[in-house]
Structure 1
Amino acid sequence: MSTTETLASSTHSANDTQLLGRVYDMLTADEALDPVPRYYLVGSMKDHPVELPEEVYQVLRRVVDAMQKGLSVTISPTSQTLTTQQAADLLGVSRPTLIKALDGGRLPYTRSGSHRRIALTDVLDYREKRRLEQYAAIDALSVDIDETTDIDQTLADLKEARKAVAAKRRGR
Structure 2
Amino acid sequence: MTTSFFPTPADTQAAQQQLERFNRQPDFLLPRLAGLMTELLSQLAAGKAVQITALESEITTQQAADLLKVSRPYVVKLLEAGELPHRKVGPRRRLRLDDVLAYKGRLDTQRLAALQVLAADLQEMGLD
- Does TM-score exceed 0.5, indicating one fold? yes
State how far apart, in whole Å, the 2-side matches of 1:77 and 1:115 are: 21
- Alignment equivalent of 2:28, drawn from 27, 35, 38: 38
Q: Which residue of 1 aligns with 2:22?
A: 27
Gaps of 5+ in 1: 1-6, 32-36, 40-52, 147-172
Contact 2:2 2:51 in 1 (8 A): no
Task: Give the aligned CA root-mean-square deviation in angstroms.
Answer: 2.5
Deviations 1:77-126 (A, max 9, x none): 22121100110111011111111111111111111111111111111111
Q: Structure 1 residues 54 and 133 mapped into 2: Cα distance closer, same or farther (>3 Å)? A: closer
The structure with more helix, counted as a fraction of residues? 2
Aligned length: 122
2:125 matched residue in structure 1: 145
Q: What amino acid does structure 2 have at the position aligned with 1:82? A: I
> Matched residues in 2 for 1:96 and 1:126: separation?
17
Q: Please, which of 103, 113, 133 is the counterpart of residue 80 of structure 2? A: 103
Kindly indicate whether the alpha-carbon contact (under 8 Å) linking 2:86 and 2:95 is maintained by their aligned counterparts in 1: yes
Which has more radius of gyration?
A: 1
Alignment TM-score, normalising by the size of structure 2: 0.78
TM-score, length of structure 1 as denominator length: 0.60
Greater relative contact order (Cα < 8 A, sep 6+): 2
CA drift at 1:38:
1.6
Q: Quick one: which of 125, 144, 147 aligns to 2:102?
A: 125
Structure 2 counterpart of 1:118, one-letter code: L
- AA aligned to 1:74 is Q
Contact 2:57 2:97 in 1 (8 A): yes
Cα distance change, pair 26–69 in 1 and its aligned pair in 2 (3 A): same
Q: 1:139 to 1:20 in 2, by over 3 A?
A: closer
